[in-house]
Amino acid sequence: MSDTNKDINFAEAPDGHAGAGFFATSLEKIVGLARKNSLWPLPFATSCCGIEFMATMGSTYDLSRFGSERMSFSPRQADVLMVMGTIAKKMGPVVKQVYEQMAEPRWVIAVGACATSGGIFDTYSVLQGIDRIIPVDVYVPGCPPRPEQILDGVLRVQDLAENESLRRRNSPEYQALLASYNIK
């Protein structure tokens, strides 16, 4: 093994049965493993929290260690919508349209106090949390959150992706959740 290869960590195999020349597990576990380690984020950054995300992508924090280095600026090729910054009410329909254009399975992270709850901007023009218009999977606290916290938010989405049932997106509960946001 070369020196370069020796520093590469491989993802752990899911539970299953191994023997000479074979490994057997369930399809759900394999799909979960693949999804977990290839989440493509769509950064929707409107203000200061977006700067923290830029640091998260840089070499010190290096989001690519988790398989998420491929930014997707097209909703149709994104898995995780990361909303970072103050969302004015006028911007709300745009966030919702981006979410609606993403294919399932899709996840959402509200990064920072503004995206989570409006933050310090308790005012008529600011949306008091993006979960008023789209479902949110993970909330990252802080104003601004440190890059470590943003990384932790991505890891929490990895946990969700790894353990999600293949049937969840077709379940009546999930359809009811979308319907409650008037999303088809």
Interface contacts to ligand SF4, rule CB under 6 A: 47-49, 85-86, 112-114, 119, 143-144
Q: Report the chain's terminal Cα–Cα distance, integer Å.
A: 51
Nearer to ligand SF4, 29 or 89 (CB): 89
Residue 19 DSSP symbol:
E
Shortest Cβ distance from residue 74 to ligand SF4 (Å)? Answer: 24
Residue 123 DSSP symbol:
S
Shortest Cβ distance from residue 50 to ligand SF4 (Å)? Answer: 8
Nearer to ligand SF4, 66 or 121 (CB): 121
CB 40 within 8 A of CB 79: yes
Q: What are the φ/ψ torsions at residue 137 (nearest 5 degrees)?
A: -95, -40
Nearer to ligand SF4, 43 or 112 (CB): 112
Q: What are the φ/ψ torsions at residue 84 (nearest 5 degrees)?
A: -130, 110
Shortest Cβ distance from residue 152 to ligand SF4 (Å)? Answer: 16
Shortest Cβ distance from residue 71 to ligand SF4 (Å)? Answer: 19
Nearer to ligand SF4, 35 or 117 (CB): 117
Nearer to ligand SF4, 32 or 118 (CB): 118
62 φψ region: left (φ > 0), alpha (ψ -120 to 50), beta (else): left
Shortest Cβ distance from residue 102 to ligand SF4 (Å)? Answer: 22
Shortest Cβ distance from residue 180 to ligand SF4 (Å)? Answer: 26
Nearer to ligand SF4, 48 or 178 (CB): 48
CA atoms within 13 A on the CB side of 46: 22
Residue 126 DSSP symbol:
B
Q: Strands (DSSP E) along 16-128, which ranges?
A: 17-19, 22-24, 41-45, 80-84, 107-111
